[in-house]
Amino acid sequence: MINPALHRDPVALDRHHHRALRLQLPVSLAAAAGKLNACFLHGAEFAQACLEYPIVFVRAGTDAAGQPQVAPMAVLGLTRDENLYLQPDGGWAAQYLPAQLRVYPFALAQVDAQQAALCIDRSYAGLSEAEGEPLFDAEGEPSELVQRMQRQLPELEAEVQRTRRGCERLMALELLQEMRLDISQGEGTPALRVDGFMAVAEEKLLKLDDATLAELARSGLMRLIHAHQVSMVHLRRLAERRAMRAAAH
């Protein structure tokens, strides 16, 4: 899955054009995600991610039939280009790192219904022909690193597709509603307004009939809903972290 805010120049990895390309490891999160204020999460990540990140839903265009789509995101910052999980020393202020960041600068792009291409973000500063882990050997065969990505990314994409289907069900049940949060920034300072995201409406969830609730439980969607609800407390904690950083400067 390509995230335009993260993969700024994704290109299909090619054994001829990129034979000499190398990747410096470990990947620098400061260079990759220093200005990333949200990161896609797939459903299997919710149980761990909800302990450290706010999980919200954002509009993600429409599908082939013109139906609106949404995507679950881990909120990293409360304003544009703000990442409150990136520490001044380049460390990450959470134990769990979203899968999309763990495999960066690699990503999978769907070419058509049957074919996908392994891509790499050429904008990442840690790519060069001078130093780092080679992506191909002298014969143009994929390195162990690339082979590992070739195994991992299709599995990740399968989770992405399952998550999309789950989000489609939430939309069909009209459980998601637009939300807005006004966060106090202290006396004499205008409140910080956070909007542009969606959350599960508790009152709509409570009105579902027993058969639909049983369906959500059996499909695993209810677990995702509960993880999302638990995670929302972290929005306030992000605001506190933001205020602490502002005070330190």
The per-residue pLDDT for range 140-152, each reduced to its tens digit, is 999 999 999 999 9
Q: Domain limits of the chain? A: 10-248
User: How far apart (Å, rounded) are the C-alpha atoms in residues 82 and 87?
Assistant: 12
Region 131-137: mean pLDDT is 94
Residue % of the chain over a pLDDT of 70: 97
User: How far apart (Å, rounded) are the C-alpha atoms in residues 240 and 249?
Assistant: 15
10 Å Cβ neighbour count for 207? 10
- Point out which residues pair with 42 in neighbouring strands: none
pTM: 0.92
Residue 181's pLDDT band (boundaries 50, 70, 90)?
A: confident
Of residues 188 and 92, more confidently modeled: 92
Region 119-135: mean pLDDT is 95
Residue 132 has pLDDT above 90, yes or no: yes
Residue 188 has pLDDT above 70, yes or no: no
Cα–Cα nearest to 31, from 96, 80, 104, 97: 104
User: How far apart (Å, rounded) are the C-alpha atoms in residues 36 and 1?
Assistant: 16
Question: What is the per-residue pLDDT across 192-244, written as a single tens digit (0 to 9) for each?
Answer: 788 889 999 999 999 999 999 999 999 999 999 999 999 999 998 998 888 88
Tokens of 188: 């004499």
Beta strands in 80-164 (DSSP E): 106-110, 116-121, 127-128, 133-134
Residue 186's pLDDT band (boundaries 50, 70, 90)?
A: low
Question: What is the per-residue pLDDT across 28-84, written as a single tens digit (0 to 9) for each?
Answer: 999 999 999 999 999 999 999 999 999 999 999 877 788 889 999 999 999 899 999
